[in-house]
Amino acid sequence: TALAPLILIPLLLVVFSGELKDRLALNLTALDTVHVVYTGQPFLAEHSAWLGESRACAAHWMAAQQAKAQGKLEERDQAFQQAVACEPLYVVFLHHMYPDDLSIAQIALIYQPASAESWFWAGDLNPDKKIEYYQQGLKIDPKDGRRWIVLGNLLDGSDPQVALHAFLQGCHNGDPGFNGCGRAGSIAERLGLYDDAIYYYRL
């Protein structure tokens, strides 16, 4: 009976060795990433090997942070590509970190075309295609009231009927800043739709 733990522990390690090894690799990668970001130098000589051992999406993200801290932009972008392909949430993180970086926005759009954020980000950096890209993003996420209002502003001068629809979508999806209902009212008033305008203003 006293020997049971000594027998069970090796068996458990064999059963869970893959999972434990992966977690250990990810934890060591996290420690190494903090060290690289603050010092520019890896803490562990074998840090690249640990990154390769971990199959977690976060390992790619941390590899990108390490490459960025060391000025290795090509490696950074390759790691961001792997992270984005692995987990769409990283598109949101990248958009906030690199809002003006077209090359990273294109990585997001190529590897996560089902992410509305990818289309909005690419649209912000492609003025000629902004309307098209925002429309595509809103097909994916029609509840994004703020982006509906942006689209309405883009369309107001050229297509007031479609702009009215966009502002109403913003109005009915949170209406950030109470702009959607008001803008819908002003367009309806301009088009001579006074009863509609009064209704939208009251919203």
Q: pLDDT in tens for each of the 203 residues of the chain?
A: 554 443 444 434 444 445 555 655 555 666 666 656 666 665 554 555 444 544 578 888 888 888 888 888 999 999 999 999 988 999 999 999 999 999 999 999 999 999 999 999 999 999 999 999 999 999 999 999 999 999 999 999 999 999 999 999 999 999 988 899 999 999 999 999 999 999 999 99
What is the reported pLDDT for 10?
Answer: 41
Q: What is the pLDDT of residue 40?
A: 64
Half-sphere exposure of 12 (CA within 13 A, CB side): 7
Residues contacting 62, CB < 8 A, separation 6+: 29, 30, 32, 33, 51
Q: Residue by residue, what is the 3-state secondary structure of 53-64?
A: HCCCHHHHHHHH
pLDDT of amino acid 197:
97
Tell me the one-letter amino acid at 39: T
Tokens standing for 40? Answer: 């520019």
Q: Which two tokens stand for residue 161?
A: 């009927």
Model confidence, pTM: 0.76
Helix (H, G, I), strand (E, B) or coil at 199: helix
